[in-house]
Structure 1
């Protein structure tokens, strides 16, 4: 495993990013719709990557908790419902 996490990147589906849980790297995706929902709560003028960066700590925390709870996916998709 490469010890360097790839930078979050914009895809057609949303933002793809990686987190490490118990020394294992997991790929995760925040869909465009989820990022849009989040941006409206902070600043509707943010683009998708800007929204991800504004909420990065929260998004990655949710991803780690889901992985810790046994939720899996390739990538793990983190929808709006996890931020309620």
Structure 2
């Protein structure tokens, strides 16, 4: 029973009512349902770990390569408390 994942409480209940097979049958059915639910949840987690197939699931994005002439660039950098302060720059 422990190998099947039954808690001690359920094992005790089965042993206390060994003449009543309905108790064992009910607990076994519930345990089987719980295990199947755990399997479904684990399979969903495994699917979430699969890398997405970008070629199938995404529309192709057009890529354009452009060459700009050389130019001087100035950059201003400051840490802002949040996105709403961006206009201060």
TM-score (norm 1): 0.31
- Quick check: which one's helix share is greater? 2
TM-score (norm 2): 0.30
- Which structure has the larger Rg? 2
* Higher relative contact order structure (alpha carbons within 8 Å, sequence separation ≥ 6): 1
